[in-house]
Amino acid sequence: MEKQSNEALEIRKMTIEDVSQVYKIENKSFTNSSWSLEAFYHELEKNEFAHYFVVSLGDEIIAYCGIWLVIDQAQITTISVDQSYRCNGVGQLLLEYVMNFASATCTTMSLEVRVENKAARHIYEKAGFTYGGVRRNYYGDGEDAKVMWVSLKNV
């Protein structure tokens, strides 16, 4: 995608019909630890705390993000942008959208991110997230996770 205005992009709730496109992005983004199709179906159909969003460009889904809202605490469960569309501001746009959505009911948002995931850490830092600790061996391959969090009070 060429650098362009974000006017043609739409952010909306993820539906069951979106899952097959989302799953393709998921598989390419998280090669060793991708979610199953069933995991997405479970989140959309069974998890009352879950809210999932997609970014679409025409009929194509180019990004998605999931959050859990539990009382006044929000947690990002996943966020990914199709490889062809990265570094165009889509990730930042989606992150700001879910922060704004969560701020209606929650006071803080947190997440775990791989220590070596510099691109993701960069967008979280830009959005105001700070580091809250490390979860050792958090991922299946043994990599540590950094916990990050942000106040949603001034979003």
Ligand X SMILES: CC(C)(COP(=O)(O)OP(=O)(O)OC[C@H]1O[C@@H](n2cnc3c(N)ncnc32)[C@H](O)[C@@H]1OP(=O)(O)O)[C@@H](O)C(=O)NCCC(=O)NCCS
Q: Out of 124, 125, 131, 139, pick the active-site residue.
A: 124
> Which uninterrupted H or E stretch holds 68?
strand 60-70
The reply on whether position 106 binds ligand X by CB under 6 A is no
The reply on whether position 29 binds ligand X by CB under 6 A is yes
Q: Catalytic: 26?
A: no
Q: Quick one: DSSP state of residue 44?
A: H
Q: In whole angstroms, give the CA distance from residue 16 to residue 8.
A: 23
Residues that bind ligand X (rule: CB under 6 A) add up to a total of: 19
Contact string (CB under 6 A) for ligand X, positions 36-75, x = contact? ----------------------------------------
Ordered alpha helix ranges (H), 11-143: 19-29, 37-45, 90-102, 118-126
User: Interface residues with ligand X (CB under 6 A)?
Assistant: 29, 79-81, 86-92, 113, 117-120, 122-123, 126
Residues annotated as catalytic are 112, 124
